[in-house]
Structure 1
Amino acid sequence: MLKKTIPFLLSAGDRVLPLTRHTPYFAQRLAMQRGLNKVFAEALEDGLFDILDDRWVQLRIHDLGLQWCITKSPRSNQLLVARQAPVEVTIAGNWREFLLLASRQEDPDTLFFRRRLQIDGDTELGLAVKNLIDSLDPESLPKWLWHAVEAFGQSAAAQQQAQILSGEPRATAG
């Protein structure tokens, strides 16, 4: 049943998710910070995020009009989210590209090579973050979360492939 509703939910996401830009920033920050620290608790404990100690990366989602600056505090060993910060690198794209990346339906190198995700700024830090994302073990995520991300990613990849085969133009990041 869920498999049949996912394509509908993805299409609804294209219309509904841009409304999240109207969410007050303190609520975005609170949700992002709590969610990231909970989901990546094991990776934080293992030191995988140490490359972000007092270094800021910005995530920008073009089609949603959202952006967050993220760092790791070496004192608290927690990820912190801010509206503005002295960012060293920005990783940007559309929400479906981030979904494909998170669900491992697209290789990060492919997304960056095809300019569907962009890295601007400190390229070395950007590549380190890309490698960090690629090294995260989906098995360390809560099973329900990984299954949902994977299912939505598979559906998004199938929709993208259908667009390519039909010759429909695809929205690009930027």
Structure 2
Amino acid sequence: MNIPNFKLPALVARIGHRLPQWPHALTLVAGLNAAAKMKLLPLDSLELLEGRSFLVEVLDTGGRASFTYRDGLFRPQFSAPASPDLCFRANLSAFLQMLARQEDPDTLFFNRELSIEGDTELGLVVKNMLDAVEWPQLRGLPGFSQQAD
């Protein structure tokens, strides 16, 4: 099953902007820390994230997750910094396509479906780190191809 390119109605983002954003950060940080603990994220790459701030914004949901990496853990930031070190912005469909490995970040970026702002070198570290991750638990689930990669 392919994830189609879609955009949620503007009303969803207007409502989403008004909701508390910290649950998004807590959820994302929990997932990243679990991946790190399972050694899915390379330690040498994680060390390059030390003290850096990140923002992930899902444009068509109005959701934002702000976090940092400090002392070996991803940690939520309950208010987004004025200028994070690295910011990813896209609609929900683009993030789902990346997770399913249906599209790679480069393709989404060049098709203007993914915006990456901030420290270019840090962006490459994160991209390469995520590209190297094998997501065995996703294989075999409905909607996730056995031939993802």
Q: TM-score range by the shorter chain?
A: 0.7 to 0.9
Q: 2:122 aligns with which of 125, 136, 147?
A: 125
C-alpha distance in 2, partners of 1:96/1:52?
A: 26
- Work out whether residues 53 and 86 of structure 2, in 8 Å CA contact, stay in contact via their aligned partners in 1: yes
Q: 2:76 aligns with which of 81, 85, 95?
A: 81
Name the counterpart of 1:164.
Answer: none
| Structure with larger Rg | 1
C-alpha displacement at 1:38, in angstroms?
Answer: 2.0
Q: Hey, which of these two has a bigger chunk of helix by percent? A: 1
- Size of the alignment, in residue pairs? 139
- Comparing 94-103 with 19-28, greater Cα deviation is found at 19-28
The residue type equivalent to 1:50 in the other structure is E
C-alpha displacement at 1:53, in angstroms?
Answer: 0.8
User: Structure 1-normalised TM-score?
Assistant: 0.64
Name the counterpart of 1:60.
Answer: 57
Question: Structure 2: which 5+ runs fail to align?
Answer: none
Percent identical: 28
Q: How does 1:1-174 map to 2 (within 5 A)?
A: 14=8, 18=13, 21-43=17-39, 46-47=42-43, 48-73=45-70, 75=71, 77-82=72-77, 83-85=79-81, 86-139=83-136, 143=137, 146-147=138-139, 151-152=142-143
C-alpha displacement at 1:14, in angstroms?
Answer: 4.1
Q: Secondary structure at the match of 2:117?
A: strand
C-alpha displacement at 1:152, in angstroms?
Answer: 3.8
Q: Secondary structure at the match of 1:64?
A: coil
User: Structure 2-normalised TM-score?
Assistant: 0.73
Relative to structure 1, the CA distance from residue 56 to residue 134 in structure 2 (aligned partners, 3 Å threshold; closer, same or farther) is same
Q: Secondary structure at the match of 1:49?
A: helix
